[in-house]
Amino acid sequence: MKNVIFLAPPSAGKGTFSSYLEKNYYYQHFSTGSILRDKAQHHENLKKILESGELVSDDIILPLVLEVLKNRDMTKPFILDGFPRTLQQAKSLDGIFKSLNLTNIVVIFIDVDKEILEKRVRGRVVCSSCYQSYNTLILEYSPKVLDICDNCGKHLIVRGDDDIESFKIRYDNYLKTMPDILAFYKEKGWLQTISNNETNQVYALEYLRDLVI
For residue 175, CA distances in Å to 129, 148, 150, 159 come to 31, 34, 34, 22
Instruction: Tell me which residue of 9, 146, 153 sits closest to 85, measured CA to CA.
Output: 9
Shortest Cβ 55–ligand AMP spacing (Å): 4
Give the Å distances, CA to CA, from 65 to 61, 72, 79, 189: 6, 11, 12, 23
- According to the binding rule CB under 6 A, does residue 13 interact with ligand AMP? no
Opening angle at CA 25, ends 22 and 28, nearest 5: 40
Q: Which is nearer to ligand AMP, 45 or 75 (CB)?
A: 45
Distance in Å, CB of 199 to ligand AMP, minimum: 21
| 3-class secondary-structure state, position 154 | coil
Residue 84, preceding peptide bond in cis (omega within 30° of 0): yes
Exactly one of 82, 121, 127, 131 binds ligand AMP (CB under 6 A); which one? 82
User: By CB under 6 A, is residue 18 in contact with ligand AMP?
Assistant: no
Measured from each CB, the residue nearest to ligand AMP is 33
Site string for ligand AMP, 29-68 (x = CB under 6 A): ---xx--x------------xx--xxxx----x-------
Query: In angstroms, what CA-CA distances link 107 with 83, 90, 115, 186, 193?
Result: 11, 11, 24, 9, 8
Binding residue count for ligand AMP, defined by CB under 6 A: 17
Q: Does residue number 85 form part of the binding site for ligand AMP (CB under 6 A)? A: yes
If one asks whether residue 89 binds ligand AMP (CB under 6 A), the answer comes out as yes
Part of the chain binding ligand AMP (CB under 6 A), chosen from 72-80, 82-90, 132-140, 198-206: 82-90
Query: Is 124 a residue that touches ligand AMP (CB under 6 A)?
Result: no
**Calpha distance 110→164 (Å, rounded):** 20
Q: Which of residues 152-211 bind ligand AMP (CB under 6 A)?
A: 161, 170
Q: Which residues bind ligand AMP (CB under 6 A)?
A: 10, 32-33, 36, 49-50, 53-56, 61, 82-83, 85, 89, 161, 170
